[in-house]
Chains A and B, each alone.
Chain A
């Protein structure tokens, strides 16, 4: 069995079977991290370009570790050092990258759709590592992997996603994935940070965090993006922390075995209090470890053909 597309552009378009295949494959890769020799020769001779036009430390490091553990040759092409600041168009940059004959291009870009654009113009397999406020598929997959490790299933689980839904590609990819897999999603945000067309999605929304927390199995906190704080989406960080911060009292409203997730980097004392972030219910660091396994699985599966080879 294989993925239908030779690119991973988003969760949109993946079937439940494909998602399950990726998660099952990641299971096999997870054990490699526990070994003395954390490297397999699977992608030997393959070249991966990590094309990061938007700053990223953890996603890029995670992809790099995944690539190295699969024995691929990887190189980083960062925005600040690149010709993009000198005015080269995305297409020209992409053609230059292609001239180096990579097998994969992992792209992070501030413009939604940039990976799709590359997929139309490049021969390499494209992996979306986050495009603007659109999608961040590998994050949603590693979140699902982490949930499945703890809950043994996704179907029927109650998942609350709390925070800046409006600007969050993590939220969007997670909603798509969780709904595809049959989880019950509740979105919670201040009215200014809730997307206007949210009614078109078949899910529960609330402006009150206590309502979102009631009996939830999983709570996913989103980062308040300090860089957007000038725009006046809410009066003050202090008020946000009081209304939408995850503290021990609110954790008490969730199911007794609920887990706490956060895509990082966390703002302690704003969206999540230190004692919860470090508490027994927190799986935030497991998410980071699982990110490597899931990204290895994605690269492995994408290397296995695609459209043309479909029988």
Chain B
């Protein structure tokens, strides 16, 4: 199949849209939990998103919100299939996981396998009372029975497309979400 010289890039969220989605999610988190839960960002882009959500929750609540970072590479189910093992980063959860209400934060929800790995990773650190999931983009195509509690934007995609989330903290340029590739239309 001849690949197009330059895959199509369509921006579906700009910086304002990303910020508004996070603001809404912050409100939804408080609506559902009464008091702010601890946030756990999944490396790498879930971490800055978790920090931003925490900042919004802190403004709304007026008190500090705990944020952790989770590296799921050791829990992946495809390690024996990928040639290059991803560079391991530290998991940093600076609070007690036992009996806590946690919100996992990631950029894109796709097959659900990352979240499965994250759940195993968190469970090895303790026994949380409840785990919820917040994602900036849900692009569908789940392969496991997993769903998000908070979604920034639902984006129907084709399997051959990619969804890129760009954040100031990790990428050149400003915030945004771009859908790359795809043959149709």
Question: Which residues of A are at the interface with B, using a C-beta cutoff of 8 A?
Answer: 1-2, 21, 24-25, 27-29, 31, 35-37, 39-42, 45-46, 297, 300-301, 303-305, 309, 311
Contacts and interface: CB of A to CB of B under 8 A. Distances in A.
B90 A27 contact: yes
28 contacts: A1-B87, A2-B83, A2-B84, A21-B87, A28-B71, A28-B90, A28-B91, A29-B88, A31-B90, A31-B91, A35-B124, A36-B124, A36-B126, A37-B125, A40-B124, A42-B73, A42-B74, A42-B75, A42-B79, A297-B88, A300-B85, A300-B88, A301-B85, A303-B85, A304-B83, A304-B84, A305-B83, A305-B85
Contacts of A25: 87-88
B58 to A, nearest CB: 26
A35 B125 contact: yes
Contacts of B124: 35-37, 39-40
A161 B84 CA distance: 36
Interface residues of B, number: 19
A28 B88 contact: yes
Contact of A41 (B90, B120, B125, B126): B120
A31 B88 CA distance: 12
Contacts of A36: 124-126
B89 interface: yes
Nearest to B89: A28
B97 to A, nearest CB: 9
Nearest to B73: A42
B44 to A, nearest CB: 13
A311 B126 CA distance: 39
B71 A41 contact: no
Contacts of B73: 42
Given A31-B91, A42-B74, A297-B88, 4 more contacts: A2-B83, A21-B87, A42-B73, A311-B83
B99 to A, nearest CB: 14
B185 interface: no
Contacts of B71: 28
A309 B83 contact: yes
A67 to B, nearest CB: 14
B82 interface: yes
Nearest to A29: B88
Nearest to A306: B83
A39 B91 CA distance: 14
A293 to B, nearest CB: 11
A2 B83 CA distance: 9
A25 B90 CA distance: 9
A301 B80 CA distance: 12
A40 B84 contact: no
Interface in B49-97: 71, 73-75, 79-80, 82-85, 87-91
B90 A305 contact: no
Interface in B114-133: 120, 124-126
A301 B79 CA distance: 11
A246 B125 CA distance: 42
B84 A1 contact: yes
B9 to A, nearest CB: 24
A307 to B, nearest CB: 10
A45 B78 CA distance: 13
